[in-house]
Structure 1
Amino acid sequence: NSFCTLLVVACAGATQQAPFKLWKEPEQFVQIPRFHTAVALLPSNTMAEDPQSLPPIQQNNGAPSGNDQDSQLDVMARRVLEEIATVGTGAEMPLDEYIRILAEYRHACELRENYKEAELVQHVLKHLRLEEETRHVKGLTEQQEAERRGLEDAHMMEFSNFNKIWNERIDAFEEHQLDAQAAMLERHSQELAAFRADMANGEHRRVKYSKDLLNLRSIQQTLAQQRNYADAQKVKLKGDKIEALEYEKISREKAEIYARKEAQILQRHRQELAALAKRMDRGKLELERARKKELEMLLQRYNNVRRGLEGQQNIIRSKTGQLLIKHANNVKTDNSGSHAIMMSMSSGAFGPGVRRRQFDVVPPGTAGSEFGGTRGSQQQRNAQSRESLPPV
């Protein structure tokens, strides 16, 4: 009866959803929070005076026999139930070890024909296994969320690196464009300055006059030598008029020639600048097309990997739910759904624990045994095809 009381308290500690009341002595009670039951609240004859004096939970390293083994198992089971009653079933509790010890104790109760305690232990085991499965499902959810966050982080890192590389490439291209344009403008400026300097120097060159003007100058000099100054003056005035007209004509023609040459030079400079600008625009357009194409490939690769990851996670969640439902409805076995899930994952049927590619050879019968041969194989092939996508 004392041990049954401890079992009842352990059951309450494993299953209670709200605060409940336990009586330490008649007409006295205290409030107990969820998943916690103080050891001192139990009857004094059901446990040791000092909980620290109880032996720790031991592994199956030794092989005691007879009454010693039963006594040690009783103490270990009592210690497990006390810890469940006092501490609860938090995330830090070793549920696997608890389940193993209580399962052995339940079997011992069956051999002793103590079915009442076996039923209570079975009730505790049921809730411990539910807690274990809840932990597994929560861990699986957190793992899948971490995988999705990792994929998003990797994609954002790759996208940031992509933008950084292309920004540097575009900046280098634009800088090269500015350098080429500045070099061409400098060359044009030097060429035009040299032409104008040559044009200025040409104005001081000797002008070639007509034969008529040269003949008049010769007559002028002859008359002057003959001291016929009146006729020489008349010839000189006539020659000056002709020289002025010819000089004006020659200057105008020379200016027209220089203006035409300068216009040709400026036109050629404009054409060269236009050709350079066209080459720059074409190069920039090709660069933008290359960037757009590479960005589309990056986004397509990310979408493929994301869809593959989501498909694989959907398969894992579906298989997990099927196994949990299967083992919840199976009352003839002691195996929890989480244990079957881990065994199926380790066999390669599904799950993130096994990383395979399409070219890997899967031995027949190894995978899919938990779910059926043909259906499991098809789901393996689907998972393999999703896992074969290129990484981000």
Structure 2
Amino acid sequence: MANVAFLDPMKNEPNLQTAQDVDDYINTLIQHQNACEKQGKYMEAEDARKRINELRKQLITKKKKELIINWQNQKDQAEKAHMEEYNQFNQFWDNKMVNFNEEAKQVEIELQNRQQNEYKQLQEELERTTPYKPKESSEILNLKKIEEHLAKQKNYVEAHTIQNKRAQLEEEELKLYSTQRILKIKTQLQQFEQRHLNELNALQQRIKAGQDELRKNRSIDLERLLQKYQNMKKDLEQREQMDILAFDGQFKTKGCSSQSTYKSVMMMAKK
């Protein structure tokens, strides 16, 4: 008898933190209740029975709380996994865009360097191949003949006059030709430069199209990623609601005894 009193769980109730703690203690009290019943300690058995009923109600509350916490943990884990995937997604596309832009910039620099070299080569070639003096005009050729004829006739004064006239005309024609030569080279270089500009613009348009395509694909992939998460989140929420409704439904039947309630809770806990 002394041993039973010493081991009386009613006087040594443990700290019941979890549903498992409550469940273990209920089992202990059931054993205590049965022992008291056999020993004729009916009031102690009644106290144990009442405490068991109270604890079974607490067990339902704790089980539901743990059920809700469990689903919240699942949602938190899903959110964490989604954020990790989202960060990886951004890192992947950021790197892809950076690599594309770096490669595009390198191609553009190489094109500009090539164009500069081609421009310089053409400029040097035009300077080298374009004569600095014009062809003698028919008027100058005619004055030369007259000058030579007068010189042969020993008419030096007239020959000198024609010579001066020819020299003045050559100077005027050279001045005009030099201006035209500069303009001709400049025009050819401008036309060449315009072709280079068109080539550069075409490259830049292709680069922009590539960037737009990357942004478009990123947007499409992001939409898929977010939709996948929304679907998963919705599925978890629906399953949580169904689980809670199923849990609550176990205890809404009229006439449901505390014993059957306890069994229902324990069966759901084992799922």
TM class, shorter-length: 0.7 to 0.9
Indicate the SS of the match to 1:244.
Answer: helix
Alignment-derived partner of residue 171 in structure 1: 98
- The 2-side partners of 1:141 and 1:88 are apart by 22
Which residue in 2 is equivalent to 1:82?
11
Corresponding residue of 2:24 = 97
Distance 1:250 1:328, change over 3 A: farther
Q: Distance in 2 between matches of 1:329 and 1:92?
A: 20
Aligned to 1:260: 187
Give the letter aligned to residue 64 of structure 2. V
Residue 286 of structure 1 is aligned with which of 204, 209, 213? 213
Structure 1 residues 179-328: aligned runs within 5 Å: 179-202=106-129, 205=132, 207-217=134-144, 220=147, 224=151, 228-326=155-253
Assess, with a 3 A threshold, how the Cα gap between structure 1 residues 142 and 93 changes in structure 2: closer, same or farther.
Answer: closer
Whether 1:139 aligns to 2:75 is no
Q: How does 1:13-162 map to 2 (within 5 A)?
A: 74=4, 78-84=7-13, 87-91=14-18, 94-111=21-38, 114-162=41-89
* Sequence identity (%): 24
Question: CA offset at residue 328 of structure 1?
Answer: 8.3
Unaligned runs of 5+ in 2: none
Whether the aligned pair in 2 keeps the contact of 1:220 and 1:235 (CA below 8 Å) is: yes
In structure 2, the partner of 1:339 is: 266
Deviation at 1:177, TM superposition (A): 2.6
Render the CA deviation track for 1:22-48: whole Å, top value 9, x for unaligned.
Answer: xxxxxxxxxxxxxxxxxxxxxxxxx6x
Q: 1:332 to 1:124 in 2, by over 3 A?
A: closer
* Ranges in structure 1 where 5+ consecutive residues have no aligned partner: 4-46, 48-53, 55-73, 346-392
Question: 1:129 Cα shift?
Answer: 2.1
Task: Tell me the distance in 1 between the aligned counterparts of 2:229 and 2:16.
Answer: 41
Whether the aligned pair in 2 keeps the contact of 1:327 and 1:336 (CA below 8 Å) is no
Q: TM-score, normalised by structure 2?
A: 0.84
Instruction: Pick closer, same or farther for the CA change 1:151–1:234 going to 2, 3 Å.
Output: same
Distance 1:96 1:253, change over 3 A: same
CA distance in 2, matches of 1:232, 1:138: 126
Q: CA deviation at 1:79?
A: 3.7
Question: Would the alpha carbon gap of residues 197 and 247 (structure 1) be closer, same or farther in structure 2, given more than 3 Å must change?
Answer: same
**2-structure distance, mates of 1:193, 1:333:** 97
Query: May I ask how many residue pairs the two structures share in their alignment?
Result: 271
Note the alpha carbon deviations across 1:127-163, whole angstroms, 9 max, x for none.
Answer: 2223333332222222112111111111111111111
TM-score, normalised to structure 1, is: 0.60
- Tell me the distance in 2 between the aligned counterparts of 1:259 and 1:157: 60
Higher RCO (CA 8 Å, separation ≥ 6 residues): 2
Which shifted more, 130-139 or 105-114? 105-114
**Aligned-pair CA distance for 1:219:** 5.1
Letter in structure 2 aligned against 1:155: H
Task: Give the Cα–Cα distance (whole angstroms) in 2 for the partners of residues 327 and 142 of structure 1.
Answer: 28
Q: 1:96 is matched by which residue type in structure 2? A: D
